[in-house]
């Protein structure tokens, strides 16, 4: 076995030999709760040994007890000492060292994900969704950056669950980064085994844009929420096809990383929203950012303000500082009409702090979680069941409740209310309430290929963002479909709505060819020197990249929603076509073992090479989803696929299903029974 000295000499890319000073913590910023430690003694020793793999031997004696302390007190080894001091921020791309534009661009994206203004728990490298990390620890952060500084335009960096495995030769049209997060072997693909793997430092939950380095702050979800609310109004409240939800009330919970978008979206859709949030600090952040307009800890006052704005038909968002279950109980008791209702607590991890049970303040929840997890779980289960019963009462009185992709119904089921499942015994046939994808996003957007296309102006110049907004708007024909009209309005008003938090970024739902045309236009603008380089990407809330039976693929009804072939193909196809970064994650949005999602990042440097990659990769990324949805007999996807086949005759071609008559199936089946 080689000695550590020889090992050090055999690497040119490694952490610096001097031990950084522990930078400490600024109490202003939120800290992650302690994660439960379920490791055996053998596994605790392994965790220590694993973390020390990054560290030169001369520091092992000092760091071993420090890391053990982190593990036992925080449930993970974060390597706090290796966090650079002060604020981390996505800077202008020119501020970064690197041998290719992609290497520098990825650093902007990583740093943006860890910005104090952006990240949910910046010290624990959690960007959003309670547990979604950029990478596992600060040693990895430093090492990834060193690799990105060395990356050339004919190499690929390989990152497995936050660990930079190394740089390998590829070619100029290959991805510069291929990364995966949290992928587990089937028999170990469950939250318990994953939690052990993570505590041992061999796995990471990246959500998607946290570990895929593509987060753009809560703006990322505002457009989807805006679309959902508009279309929920049209579907359930009799709002006109080109109307918005003025004069209507939406109630939900959560003003966190993603859920923070709800208040903003309801105002952009001209409606009135009350959003419950138990953590005062998150309300403060959203008020300061202008993402929620008013705040109160009185339910009477919250509903009074709401009434006033409903009557005036003017937009308003109100943060209620308290538990959503208290709010719903109040509404039921006082017979208050809630028209649209959802929930966006972090129910993909209800027992890890994602859901605050009724009866506990936010601080009490944190203490109980730390000191008595079993008791905490009991509180969560009781509260979830009560939450569900209150929703049932409201739905009986005409409320439209939809699950907003946070695994709420699954959590209620796991808490013991089996009656939330359609068949009352398991989740194989789905739940009694629709998910927003089943009713709204699936048929109205994903089936056409519309999804969360996004870009970041890497120069950091706001003028670049304004120019790209204008260029994107000019590429949309608002008269083609209703969806295009909504998207046009969105991008037209984006600047006015002050959506940017962190890097100069924008989200715009677009279909496959809309995305391609905008991408090509931006690349030309870079080539012509009108703007600096741009990073394109998307999140998991899309047509193609995600297999997630309770969410993105909840309107897939041919039985294939328990498979993950599409997400893997999306990822592999994006790699084959040369996207700058391709990523594959376990669990994004809904939790380990409940979803697989593939993502991408594409750096526009103005080159012809990038034009060629965009032509093939951008339509593929969305059309793989349309093709699969069409095969699952989603009606609007069949139309989209058939039009695509006509347009690309002799080039691309999608297999379209023949649809059997239900009566024939019934008749044939009945013969079997005779």
List residues binding ligand NAD (CB under 6 A): 120, 128-130, 221, 224, 253-259, 276-279, 282, 323-324, 344-348, 354-356, 404-407, 541, 589
Of residues 349 and 603, the one with the C-beta less far from ligand NAD: 349
The CA distance from 450 to 625, in Å, is: 10
Beta carbon nearer to ligand NAD, 156 or 342: 342
Name the residue nearer to ligand NAD (CB basis): 176 or 541.
541
Instruction: Measure Cα distances from 11 to 5, 15, 56, 270, 319 in Å.
Output: 10, 10, 12, 57, 52
Least distance from C-beta 343 to ligand NAD, angstroms? 8
Q: Provide the Cα torsion 508, 509, 513, 517; round to 10°.
A: 0
**Closest CB to ligand NAD among residues 155, 252:** 252
Q: Half-sphere exposure of residue 344, counting CA atoms within 13 Å on the CB side?
A: 28
CB 406 to ligand NAD: min, Å: 3
Q: Tell me the closest approach of the beta carbon of residue 299 to ligand NAD, in angstroms.
A: 13
Question: What's the closest the beta carbon of residue 322 comes to ligand NAD, in angstroms?
Answer: 7
Residue with Cβ nearer ligand NAD (48 or 356):
356
Of 155 and 548, CB closest to ligand NAD: 548
Phi/psi of residue 191, nearest 5 degrees: -60, -35
Residue burial 299-333, b: 16+ Cβ < 10 Å; e: rest: beebbebbeebbeeeebbbbbbbbbbbbbbbbbbe
Taking the complex as a whole, the smallest distance from the CB of residue 265 to ligand NAD amounts, in Å, to 11
Long-range contacts of 21-29 (CB under 8 A, 24+ apart): 21/81, 21/85, 22/80, 22/81, 23/80, 23/81, 23/83, 23/84, 23/85, 23/86, 25/80, 25/123, 26/116, 28/116, 29/116, 29/122, 29/123
Phi then psi for 194, rounded to 5 degrees? Answer: -65, -40
Residue 158's DSSP bridge partners are: 166, 178
**Would the CA dihedral through 235, 237, 239, 245 be positive or negative?**
negative
Nearest CB to ligand NAD, comparing residues 522 and 550: 550
Q: Which is nearer to ligand NAD, 404 or 413 (CB)?
A: 404
- Lookup: tokens for 93: 């791309």
Helix (H, G, I), strand (E, B) or coil at 205: coil
**8-state DSSP, 425:** S
Tokens 């999306």 correspond to what residue?
Answer: 570
Least Å distance, CB 595 to ligand NAD, is 10
- Compute the distance between CA of residue 286 and CA of residue 611 in angstroms, rounded to an integer: 39
Instruction: Tell me the chain's radius of gyration from C-alpha atoms.
Output: 24
Q: Name all contacts of 125-128 with Cβ < 8 Å and 24+ positions apart.
A: 125/78, 126/32, 126/210, 127/207, 127/209, 127/210, 127/215, 127/257, 128/207, 128/209, 128/210, 128/215, 128/256, 128/257, 128/258
Residue 221 or 232: the one with the smaller Cβ distance to ligand NAD is 221
> Strand (E) positions, 393-445?
400-401
Q: How many CA atoms, within 13 angstroms, populate the side-chain half-sphere of residue 464?
A: 24
* DSSP β-bridge partners for residue 294: 318
Kindly tell me which of 223 and 577 has the beta carbon lying closer to ligand NAD: 223
Q: What DSSP state is assigned to residue 179? A: E
Shortest Å distance, C-beta 449 to ligand NAD: 17
To ligand NAD, the closest distance from the beta carbon of 167 in angstroms equals 32
Q: Which residues of 566-602 are buried (b: 16+ CB within 10 A; e: fewer)?
A: bbebbbebbbbbbbbbbbbbbbbbbbbbbbbbbbbbb
Of residues 280, 281, 266, 389, the one with CA closest to residue 339: 266
Q: In this complex, which beta carbon is closest to ligand NAD, that of residue 257 or of residue 442?
A: 257
State the nearest-atom distance from the C-beta of 221 to ligand NAD, in Å. 5
Residue nearest to ligand NAD (CB): 256
136, two tokens? 């596992």
3-state secondary structure of 404: coil
**CB 303, min distance to ligand NAD, A:** 16
Question: Smallest gap, in angstroms, from Cβ of residue 269 to ligand NAD?
Answer: 15
Q: Rounded CA gap, 404 and 525, in Å?
A: 37
For 461, other C-beta atoms within 10 Å of its C-beta total 14
**114 — phi, psi (to 5°)?**
-110, 5
Q: Which is nearer to ligand NAD, 279 or 486 (CB)?
A: 279
Q: How far is the CB of 110 from ligand NAD (least distance, A)?
A: 18
Shortest Å, Cβ 584 to ligand NAD? 17
Minimum CB–partner distance for residue 217 and ligand NAD (Å): 11
User: Which lies closer to ligand NAD via its Cβ, residue 132 or residue 175?
Assistant: 132
CA distance linking residue 106 with residue 119, whole number of Å? 17
CA distance 292 to 268: 11
- Exposed e or buried b for every residue in 55-69, given b needs 16+ CB within 10 A? bbeebeeebeebbbe
**Residue position matching structure tokens 């739940």:** 431
* Closer CB to ligand NAD, 321 or 469, in the complex: 321
Which CB atom, from 81 or from 282, has the smaller least distance to ligand NAD? 282
Token digits of residue 642: 């058939």
- Min dist CB 359 to ligand NAD, Å, is 10
Q: Which is nearer to ligand NAD, 130 or 447 (CB)?
A: 130
Nearer to ligand NAD by Cβ, of 383 and 617: the residue is 383
Closest approach, Cβ 214 to ligand NAD, in A, equals: 13
């Amino acid at each position: 076995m080689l000695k550590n000295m020889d090992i050090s000499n055999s690497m040119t890319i490694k952490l610096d030999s001097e031990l950084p000073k522990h930078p400490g913590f600024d109490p202003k910023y939120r800290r992650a709760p302690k994660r439960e430690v379920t490791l055996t003694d053998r596994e605790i020793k392994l965790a220590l040994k694993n973390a020390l793999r990054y560290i030169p031997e001369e520091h092992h004696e000092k760091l071993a007890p420090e890391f053990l302390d982190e593990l036992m007190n925080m449930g993970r080894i974060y390597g706090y000492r290796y966090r650079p001091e002060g604020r981390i921020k996505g800077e202008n791309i020119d501020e970064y060292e690197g041998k290719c534009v992609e290497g520098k661009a990825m650093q902007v994206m990583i740093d943006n994900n860890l910005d104090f203004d952006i990240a949910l728990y910046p010290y624990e490298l959690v960007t959003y969704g309670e547990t979604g990390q950029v990478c596992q620890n600060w040693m990895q952060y430093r090492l990834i950056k060193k690799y990105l500084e060395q990356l050339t335009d004919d190499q690929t960096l390989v990152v497995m669950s936050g660990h930079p495995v190394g740089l390998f030769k590829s070619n100029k049209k290959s991805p510069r980064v291929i990364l995966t997060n949290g992928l587990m072997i089937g028999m170990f693909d469950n939250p318990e085994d994953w939690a052990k793997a993570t505590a041992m430092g061999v796995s990471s939950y990246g959500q998607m844009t946290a570990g895929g380095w593509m987060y753009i702050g809560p703006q990322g979800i505002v457009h989807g929420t805006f679309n959902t609310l508009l279309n929920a109004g049209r579907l359930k409240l009799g709002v006109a096809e080109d109307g918005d939800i003025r004069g209507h009330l939406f109630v939900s919970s959560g003003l966190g990383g993603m859920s923070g978008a709800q208040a903003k979206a309801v105002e952009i859709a001209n409606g009135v929203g009350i959003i419950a949030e138990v953590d005062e600090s998150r309300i403060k952040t959203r008020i300061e950012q202008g993402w929620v307009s008013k705040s109160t800890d009185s339910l009477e006052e919250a509903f009074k303000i709401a009434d006033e704005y409903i009557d005036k038909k003017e937009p308003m968002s109100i943060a209620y500082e308290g538990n959503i279950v208290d709010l719903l109980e109040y509404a039921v008791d006082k017979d208050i009409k809630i028209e649209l209702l959802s929930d966006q607590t972090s129910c993909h991890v209800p027992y890890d702090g994602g859901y605050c049970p009724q009866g506990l303040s936010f601080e009490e929840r944190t203490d109980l979680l730390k000191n008595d997890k079993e008791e905490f779980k009991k509180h969560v289960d009781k509260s979830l069941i009560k939450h569900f019963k209150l929703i049932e009462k409201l739905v009986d009185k005409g409320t439209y409740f939809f699950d907003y992709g946070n695994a709420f119904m699954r959590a209620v089921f796991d808490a013991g209310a089996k009656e939330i499942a359609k068949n009352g015994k398991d989740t194989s046939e789905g739940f009694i309430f629709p998910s927003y994808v089943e009713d709204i996003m699936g048929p109205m957007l994903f089936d056409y290929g519309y999804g969360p296309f996004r870009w970041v102006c890497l120069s950091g110049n706001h003028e670049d963002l304004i120019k790209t907004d204008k260029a994107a708007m000019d590429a949309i024909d608002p008269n083609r479909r209703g969806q295009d009209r909504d998207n046009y309005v969105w991008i037209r008003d984006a600047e006015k709505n002050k959506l940017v938090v962190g890097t100069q970024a924008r989200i715009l739902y677009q279909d496959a060819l809309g995305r391609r045309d905008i991408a090509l236009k931006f690349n030309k603008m870079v080539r012509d020197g009108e703007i600096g380089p741009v990073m394109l990407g998307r999140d998991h809330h899309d047509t193609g990249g995600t297999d997630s039976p309770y969410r993105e693929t909840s309107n897939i009804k041919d039985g294939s929603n328990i498979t993950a072939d599409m997400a893997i193909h999306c990822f592999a196809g994006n790699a084959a076509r040369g996207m700058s970064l391709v990523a594959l994650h376990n669990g994004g949005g809904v939790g380990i073992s409940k979803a697989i999602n593939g993502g991408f990042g594409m750096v526009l440097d103005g080159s012809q090479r990038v034009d060629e990659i965009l032509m093939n990769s951008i339509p593929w990324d969305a059309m793989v989803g349309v093709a699969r949805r069409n095969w699952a007999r989603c009606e609007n996807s069949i139309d989209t696929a058939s039009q695509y086949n006509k347009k690309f005759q002799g080039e691309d071609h999608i297999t379209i299903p023949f649809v059997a008559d239900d009566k024939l199936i019934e008749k044939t089946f009945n013969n079997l029974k005779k």
